[in-house]
Chain A
Amino acid sequence: MSQLPSELKYTESHEWVRLEGEIAFVGITDFAQSELGDIVYVSLPEPGRILRKGDSFGAVESVKTASDLYSPISGEVLEANELATNQTELVNTDPYGKGYLLKVKLSDPSEVGSLISAEQYAKLLP
């Protein structure tokens, strides 16, 4: 059974968002990482890039699959987590912690309302 911290917000495309004021941390869910298997490559945008909600901002890859990442919110990329790109196994072992992917400065905090809760996300999983 995959882990689903209740304080996070989720998307149907298996990303999560953690809010700290106007700053959002973004990553992929425990379910997503377990479906992918051993993650061997993470590509992320340069800091400074402006994302709109729904934009493809990178990809995570295992040996046999590649999965595009879609931004759950709009805003400016403050940081792409180098730990995740250099030690990709952290995305598998600690997807909600050290294995986060982006730190984004929100440009439209109201969008957070359209994200789904852990409970709603759980219903989407098989």
Chain B
Amino acid sequence: MPYTPHTEYDRTAMLSELNLSSTDELFREIPENLRVQKGSLSLPNALSEYEIEKHLFRLSRLNRSSFDLISFLGAGMYDRYIPSTVSAMISRGEFLTAYTPYQPEASQGSLQTIYEFQTMIAELFGTDLANASMYDGATSMAEAAIVAHGINGRNTIAVSDLIHPHHRQVLNTYCWAIGLKTEVVPSVNGVCKLPEVGDQFACIVVGHPNFLGNLEDLSAVREWCNASGSQMIVSTDPIACALLKPPGEFGADFVVGEGQCLGVAMGLGGPAVGLFGCKQEHIRRIPGRIVGKTKEVHGDQEGYVMTLRTREQDIRREKATSNICTNEALMALANTVYLCAVGKNGIKQVAEASLRNSRYLQSKLEAIGMKKVDSSRYFCEFAVDLGKNAAPIVDRMLERGFLAGLALGEYYPARENQLLVATTEKRNKEEIDQYVSELAAEVGR
């Protein structure tokens, strides 16, 4: 085996150091009845490296990816271009195969990149600070809601029905386990309709852009939070933040989001990366790692360490701010390299291209009588009415070479005829024209 270097000679030498004659004796403390006979498990046979590649290549070819299909599907994960520098940098063994930087002297590379990551996310979100990442956008949001409960002791989490349905399901699971209640806030015209002000709400969670791509009135949300004494949590898209006035500048207490769009492969949903920013005053309550800048004890050289560690589970145990330990450091590094590679102007270009493509798509669809459903402002994704059940259309559009979007009926029964479509910077005029003409043919316009 290439991964276990022990030759027969090594084995004998090592066992003799231990005064043992066989490796079986290493396991003498395990009761005999609990031991497995070597080779007795019902498992596939070992494969050579080439056979592994062949096996997995064949399985991969059974899938139809966004390299095979032209994608207009968004809904929280986006088919965006990943610069070649990103994969090259995150494949470097020094980053890829390092553990959490518990020994700062030997981990300055990871630590500095995390500090840069925290800076860039806080900048995009308009928050005082950001942590070193969470698992994904959904758990990032659930964690923020639990922090909000810790701040004001209230037990009801108000959540907009235009938060990603899967994210709401994760929030529900987290809240059920810890004993909190979620209350779904309805929407009108594709934006959230704020509930009556009430002192039962720990927080309100809104999307900006929301699941339908629409922009919420964050000033109104802030006012509602002031009146209710609740925390304001905004789930956002970091690409949209390149153009929008960021949620932090509207006074959001917590800004969370999915970082996949910043240089991470969709990968059927994982690994993704949770972004988490907040106001300075909440820093001691937040989950996850935080890297800070400091100096040497016996010198002037500056360096980075993980800080405010007493919030974390290994020190604080059941009183920790969260149980999170491993986060998504490598994906956060991908975000960092991405933001450096596209840079200040590149991310604006990506955002603007996505927005312009969506406006063009909207106009082409409207020309064939397919209307954007909600009149609210939006970023680069919107619901369009097909006039008939959208789910079968999505399936049939596959045959025409398109991932047409998301049929909304499964999540919002009243929107059965609606398709959620998104355009990224990867789409161009020609593809949009082709998509619209194929969709027209399929729907019968």
Q: Which residues of A contact B (CB under 8 A)?
A: 41, 61-66, 68
Give a binary string over B313-340; 1 marks a CB under 8 Å from any A CB, 0 the rest.
Answer: 0011001000000000000000000000
Which residues, 133 to 184 on B, are CB-close (under 8 Å) to A?
none
Q: Count B interface residues, CB 8 Å.
A: 6
Chain B residues lying within 8 Å of A61, measured Cβ to Cβ, are 310
Report how far A64 CA is from B306 CA in the complex, Å. 11
| Chain A CB within 8 A of B396 CB | no
Give the one of A62, A66, A68 with max B CB within 10 A. A66
B136 to chain A, nearest CB (A): 28
16 CB < 8 A contacts A-B:
A41-B284, A41-B310, A61-B310, A62-B310, A63-B309, A63-B310, A64-B309, A64-B310, A64-B315, A65-B310, A65-B315, A66-B310, A66-B315, A66-B316, A66-B319, A68-B319
Q: What residue of chain B has the Cβ atom nearest to residue A40's Cβ? A: B310
Chain A residues lying within 8 Å of B284, measured Cβ to Cβ, are 41
Chain A residues lying within 8 Å of B315, measured Cβ to Cβ, are 64-66
B250 to chain A, nearest CB (A): 30
Chain A residues lying within 8 Å of B310, measured Cβ to Cβ, are 41, 61-66
Chain B residues lying within 8 Å of A64, measured Cβ to Cβ, are 309-310, 315
B99 to chain A, nearest CB (A): 18
Chain B residues lying within 8 Å of A63, measured Cβ to Cβ, are 309-310
Chain A residues lying within 8 Å of B319, measured Cβ to Cβ, are 66, 68
Report how far A41 CA is from B319 CA in the complex, Å. 16
B319 to chain A, nearest CB (A): 8
Give the one of B309, B310, B319 with max A CB within 10 A. B310
Shortest 9 CB-CB contacts between residues of A and residues of B: A66-B310, A61-B310, A66-B316, A66-B315, A65-B315, A64-B315, A64-B309, A63-B309, A65-B310
Chain B residues lying within 8 Å of A65, measured Cβ to Cβ, are 310, 315
Kindly list 13 other residue pairs between chains A and B, CB separation below 8 angstroms, not including A65-B315, A66-B319, A68-B319: A41-B284, A41-B310, A61-B310, A62-B310, A63-B309, A63-B310, A64-B309, A64-B310, A64-B315, A65-B310, A66-B310, A66-B315, A66-B316
B281 to chain A, nearest CB (A): 14
Report how far A102 CA is from B289 CA in the complex, Å. 31
Give a binary string over B292-309; 1 marks a CB under 8 Å from any A CB, 0 the rest.
Answer: 000000000000000001
A91 to chain B, nearest CB (A): 15
Report how far A63 CA is from B290 CA in the complex, Å. 13
A55 to chain B, nearest CB (A): 15
A32 to chain B, nearest CB (A): 16
Report how far A5 CA is from B346 CA in the complex, Å. 66
Report how far A41 CA is from B308 CA in the complex, Å. 10
Chain B residues lying within 8 Å of A41, measured Cβ to Cβ, are 284, 310
B307 to chain A, nearest CB (A): 8
A33 to chain B, nearest CB (A): 16
Report how far A64 CA is from B315 CA in the complex, Å. 7
Report how far A63 CA is from B284 CA in the complex, Å. 13
Report how far A97 CA is from B284 CA in the complex, Å. 27
